Structure 1
Amino acid sequence: MNRTIRVLLADDEPVILRGLKKLISWSTLGLDIVGEARDGIELRAMIESCKPDLIISDISMPGYSGIDIIREIHQSGRTIKVIFISAYQEFAYAREAVQYGALDYLVKPVNTGQLEQVVTRAATLIRQESQEERNKEMLRTYERRNLSVTVEEQLEQLTDGNKAAAVTLARMGNTAITRYASICVIETDEYSDQPSRWEERERKLVEFALSNIIKETVDERGNGYVFRKGERFSVLLQHEQLAEPQQWMEDLHHKINSFLKLQVTIGIGEPVGGVEEAAESYQSALKALRFRYFAGSNRVISYTEEQAAVSLQAAVLPGIQSVQSGITEALKSLDKELLTALTAELLDNVSLLSGGSRNQAVSHVYNAIIQLEADMADFGVDAGLMNQGGKPLLETLADAPAFSTLRQEFAAVLLRMLEQLGCRAAGKEMPQLAQVKSYVEEHYAENITLESIAALVYMNPYYFSSFFKKHTGQNFKNYLTEVRMDHARRLLLQSDLMVYEIADRVGYNNARHFSDMFKKQFGKLPQEYKQSVKH
């Protein structure tokens, strides 16, 4: 007969201790609660007096933390098993506990199923102390692991198009007779199109937690199998109703968001008539997942939703040119309200026309901008295709992480074009130039930048640079330097100020740099220039 396993509970919240004692039938599982500690100091002492086989403890307590306790157990070589209870925000803390040999951890609030499952596993491990029992468990573990690996390998082959894998799975008793089968693909949004924000060990812990919650949810429903393909988790669902995969995945998505605080996107493949056709469903699930660029991340996307968008392509193409022509006319007439409405319509059409392809969306938007710039060439409009000192517009568009960002970039280009047309239509360019020169004359000693002076006249910096050079024949930076040097020469000849004082008064905080600029402007250093004029 199996001996009773001694259990020690520890938590600084009495209500948690009471809850743990009542949550499951400890005696039925062959366990006996031999003590309750309310802080780390008491727990440390009771380990010596109670001689527990199993400790179930809060990870964060006064006195000594759970990490301190398990570190001591680990260093002493004791065989005490430890299960931690933690809040989610202590995730990194729990990771360290696992490193020191914690058997598992439970996220508060703990439910009966979780506690019973983990405690049962702990009890099984503890009872393996007898050589005969240990050998039996090792054999059972090997058989279970071997079966699990075999099933996962068959599912991978099945989704790669090997229909023979369906026969193997059926022989192993791992498929059911249902009307439909669907593959769903789950991807953590942090993994997609960007470097992971997690370190390797933390990433493994996150994947462990994610794997557990996916398997628990699928097992609750029945007729489902979880497996890995690359970075993604995949699920084979066998179901009777077409709506079931959507319902199951919405439930799973909610649990992942709520319990793990992770953002994931789930692609639901097209239902097929049997497990042997799973490869088709898998490929359609990947297409649904890629549609995240248009639909938005951290959501469940079905293949039928993606297909509905693609099927509208033929209807969209004839009207897109008409909308673009309308945008050209709205720009010419300076009708901002109409421009906004037509821009939204054009981009909605681009989304549909792109058929779920990110590259197609970027290409359509860029081509639309090129066409608009060509249409407005007679008006001297610059769409900023080659940004001065920044990334080319095409690169900026391609870097947009989502279609919503691409929309913003396109709207910004049209707004810039509208502003340029507005300036020309109202004949404001010369007054604006006079405003700039007047401001420079009054504020030349201050920190004036191209960006700040462009903002003064409500222009894009790149457009302002072109605008200023067109009307003055020189770059704004050179003009500002000339103004400062003219004032510096006046101060040099008409006052007894030191060179560094003059530099400060005309906007230079570095006297040496000022002297170099003065020499570049007038051919001599300030003092040399002053001496030459006197003689």
Structure 2
Amino acid sequence: MYKAMLVDDEYMILEGLKQIIPWNELGFEVVKTAKRGQEALDYLKENDIDLLITDVTMPKMTGIELVREIRKFKPDLSIIILSGYQEFSYVKQGLELGVKGYLVKPVNKDELEQKVIQIRDDLIQDARMGTQKELYYDTMVQRWLNDELNEDEFLNFIKELKIHLNPSYSVIIVNQANNPVDLSEYVKSQQQPFMVQTENLSTYQTVIIYQGMRNELNLFVKGIEEELRGQTFKIILGESVTEWENVYESFEKSKKLLLFQEFYGDKEASQMVVSLTDTEEEVEKLHFLSFNKALMIGDMATIKDELHGIYQQMAEFRYTPENVRHVTFLLFTDIYRQFPSLDKEIYDDTLKKIHHSSSMKELKQWLDQILDSIYDNPAVSKRYSDLVKSAIHIISTDYQKDLSLKSVAEVLHINPVYLGQLFKKETERSFSQFLNQTRIKKGQYLLLNSSKPINEVGYDIGYNNPTYFFKMFRKLNGLTPKEFREKYLQNYQSFEE
């Protein structure tokens, strides 16, 4: 039932408006009547309605003045204005203020009913459109977080939202256990446009893609803590990244930190904020994303340089033992995701070592040993199911073709949704991510072991668009194809040799 409000300084007219049409049958309830514009304005500042019908000529505050004030805080409210006579200036002002109708007193029953029906139908249509927009918005943000948007889709999404991007992004995960607080109003008040919320039996989760520098982010998170005062919650801050294409990495880091907390976090803590970097200097120097890209590049010296650099920076910034453990866990999970030769036993052993470690040096040496073991035995895949191995084999042999999850599922005679879910669970990458990484690894090999022009390399590995090949190569490696070839042509220690 929609809510209507009637405003007129004459009591008999108010009563007549309440009785002249069957409001309930038309889908409305008259929830308030007011005899003065100020009375109506005070009510509207505290309450929501869907339709306002107001007289024009009232003492102290006219109907036009009332509408003008209402538009300052309820720009979309449906309004009908009434007048004792036809006056063009009232009609003109009403149109300028976006009113839905102008009726002359005495009000004609059929005209009023027709206008109310029209407004009801508009409200129903707006609600449907709003639901569709919300679904579209949630879907697009989820796809962005999961690295499923191409550039055109992303730019169209931003254009439709009519927002300006700030080239610094950090993913925040907020988990609430019970009696959850809706953070949407707070997030909107801070001019942060990207947020999705999900709920299951035990957890209410809010994921925010924060735009802004790290010091601003810290203040934003303090605001969340205030909103959740007295609640049970965990707040996890992911890595800050400067390009929209890498937001998924910040999301992955946030999820991994949350997982680590579930393993070894303080079970008694009812309120927890986990952040690895607090200042812009730390964000700039302690760059986890560079390590991830080094793993994709695949050169042992580059990987170890990045690894040792991160530990050196943690020592410089005097990281607490707990934060060193957090960082080590994230570095290990990046290694584990990239190299399937590592099995569940290594994963469990590493978790134990991280939890019981006594020094930063010990943790760094352990990761060095893991990297050396991969270098000595790179090709053995120990943890994928036969179905996922089969899908990977198709990707490895047919990467030059126009492959899709659906086409591979058809070859394997399996439901594509099931295959996609299983593939993501076991490899920690979507099918398209894995396909792109496979193609780019093949491209690396051609860049270093042939004299083919860069555009031709792109065509040979399945990219018909040279620009897309260039962008994907740079996204995954942090280098352009030309920079990669120049840097590693003479000195490349591959894990795959």
Q: TM-score, normalised by structure 1?
A: 0.33
Which one has the bigger helix percentage?
A: 1
Q: TM-score, normalised by structure 2?
A: 0.36
